[in-house]
Amino acid sequence: MCESCHIESPDTTNPKIFFAWVIANREKYIGGTKVLETIHELNVLCKTMNVKIEDIIKVYHNDENYIKNIEQDLGMHGWRIVPSTYAGAMINTYLKDNETKELHNILDKISDKFQFDLKQLA
């Protein structure tokens, strides 16, 4: 159980109540962070940074390594990772991936142009 769940879970001696709470709340958290709060923060940051949230979500669903890449961008101050940190890491990972793709496209164009020029010289 993550720290957030541990703090918010019912302190009860009745295991049925405790596990009912766990079952009801298990999908609300990812890594100790509330999913709905993270989505809200992602939406706020995307609007502020002029990034389409749909593009980030599409990459998130289609790339199984995306979560591993996001984890590399997580920072922490205080005692836990907050929703805005996850949202920021998602955007940062998306932007870095796009910059890499754009750079590869530019290099491909340069390479194609260079090969074309070599053919003209031959």
What are the pLDDT digits (tens) for 57-112? 887 777 777 767 777 777 776 677 788 888 888 888 888 888 777 777 777 777 77
Is the separation of the CB atoms in 18 and 6 below 8 Å? Answer: no
The three-state secondary structure class of 99 is helix
Question: Could you count the other beta carbons within 10 Å of the beta carbon of residue 46?
Answer: 20
pTM tops 0.95, yes or no: no
**Rounded to 5 degrees, what angle do the CA atoms 50, 91, 83 make?**
110
What one-letter code names the amino acid at 4? S
Query: Using the 8-state DSSP alphabet, how is residue 13 labeled?
Result: S
How does residue 29 score in pLDDT terms, banded at 50, 70 and 90? Answer: low
The residues, any chain, with a CB within 8 Å of residue 73's CB and separated by 6 or more, are 88, 89, 92, 93
